[in-house]
Structure 1
Amino acid sequence: MPSDDHDADGRDRPRRRRAGTYDEDERPAPRRPLSASVAARAGLQHIAELSGKTPTGVTSIERSEDGWVIGIEVIEDRRIPSSTDILGVYQVEVDMDGELVTYRRIRRYPRGQSDRG
C-alpha cells in the first residue's frame, strides 16, 4: 500500500498543501508600512495621471485603517493673471502598497480666495 509521501510505484509524490499555507522557509516577508511621504508622492502621481491636471502640493495626509487619505491641491483652470487661477482640492485614498483606492474633488475655488473660518 502506498504511503502518503509515495505513489503506487514507490516514487515521491509532490506534497499538497492548503492554499495560504507555507513552509517556514517559504513565508512571504512581512509588509513594511507605507510611509507618509511615499503615500503622498503616490497620491500626487495618481491625480496627475488620472486628471491630466497639475498638482500644486499636498494639503493634508492622514493614516486610515487600510492606507492613507491625502488632500491634494490641483490647478483646475489656468488664467492670466495666475492669481485668478481656479484651484481644486482632491481627496485621494491609497492602500498600503501605494495603489489608488478612491479619489474625488472636495472643493473648487479661485486662487486668491482665503479659507473661510
Structure 2
Amino acid sequence: MNALKISAVAREGVAAITGHQPELVSRCEPSDRGWQVQVELVDTKARITENDVMATYQLNYDARGRLLSYERTRRYPRGKNGGTFAA
C-alpha cells in the first residue's frame, strides 16, 4: 500500500462514515502500525460557502489498508484554519 492508494481509501472511508464527500486529504504518512491520514470535509453546510464549518478526521489504517480507528479531531470555519470549534 502506498500513500496515493491509502489516500483514496481514506477518502472513500470518511465518506462512508460521515455521509459527506471529503474536500481533500491534508496529511498522509506511514506510522508504526500502518498509515495515518487526515481528511478535511464540510461538516455543516451554510447558505454562503464562506460560512461552512469544516472538520478534520484522522483515520488510522494497518499496512494492508484496513481501518483501525477514526476520530474527528477538530472543527473550524472555512478559510480560518487557525480558529477551532469544539470537536
On whether the aligned pair clears a TM of 0.5, the verdict is: yes
Identity rate, percent: 29
Where 1:108 maps in the other structure, the secondary structure is strand
Structure 1 counterpart of 2:76: 109
Distance 1:64 1:98 in 2: 12
Distance 2:28 2:80 in 1: 22
Q: What letter corresponds to residue 50 of structure 2 in structure 1?
A: S
Structure 1 counterpart of 2:22: 55
Instruction: Calculate the aligned-residue CA RMSD, in Å.
Output: 1.2
Higher-RCO chain (CA-CA 8 Å, sequence separation at least 6) = 2
Where 1:83 maps in the other structure, the secondary structure is helix
Structure 1 counterpart of 2:38: 71
Q: Which has the larger radius of gyration?
A: 1
Contact 1:42–1:99 (8 Å) recurs in 2: no
Q: What letter corresponds to residue 107 of structure 1 in structure 2?
A: R
The count of residues paired between Structure 1 and Structure 2 equals: 83
Structure 2 counterpart of 1:12: none
**Gap regions ≥5 residues in structure 1:** 1-33
Where 2:36 maps in the other structure, the secondary structure is strand
Structure 1 counterpart of 2:6: 39
State the 4+ residue runs in structure 1 displaced beyond 6 angstroms. Answer: none
TM-score, normalization by structure 2: 0.88
Structure 2 counterpart of 1:85: 52
TM-score, normalization by structure 1: 0.67
The answer to whether residue 65 in structure 2 is matched with residue 98 in structure 1 is yes
**Gap regions ≥5 residues in structure 2:** none
Q: Deviations over 1:45-98 (max 9, x none)?
A: 111001111210101111011210001001101111101100000100111221
